[in-house]
Amino acid sequence: MKVSCLDEIQDKPVEFNGKIVYGVSIRWLIKKEDGAPNFAMRYFEMQPNTEIPSHSHPWEHEIFILDGECEITAGSVSKKVFKNSAVFIEPNIEHSYKNNGDKVLKFLCIIPHT
């Protein structure tokens, strides 16, 4: 078993195509190096008026909103999600996240190891 504390893990900027996404940070809570053979758990924070650009990848992921709200677009569907929402993003679907709210968005994202 491994137990980690969010406050003890250094946050890092999120990068897409070699560019830092302003106002968005990630902390890897559980990863393969911790002995987790199948999945990684990540914690994200998005400042107000920030966006994770549209992208796709060949794996699914699951998201749980801890605090705040955002608009998630997956394919041609956009939905506003709030604290305590769980979201499933299918593999190979273009998706993006926009924090149009006035508070920091905090969420967990679970992905398989690739």
Please report the sign of the dihedral spanned by the C-alpha atoms of residue 65, residue 99, residue 55, residue 18.
negative
Confidence of residue 17 (pLDDT cuts 50, 70, 90): confident
- For the chain, give every residue range classified as CATH 2.60.120.10: 54-97
Query: pLDDT digits over 60-114, tens only?
Result: 999 999 999 999 999 999 999 999 999 999 999 999 999 999 999 999 999 998 7
pLDDT of residue 53: 94
Measuring CA to CA, how many Å separate 104 from each of 51, 56, 79, 91, 114?
12, 24, 18, 27, 29
Give domain 54-97's CATH superfamily. Answer: Jelly Rolls (2.60.120.10)
Taking the C-alpha atoms of residue 46 and residue 26, their distance in angstroms, rounded to an integer, is: 9
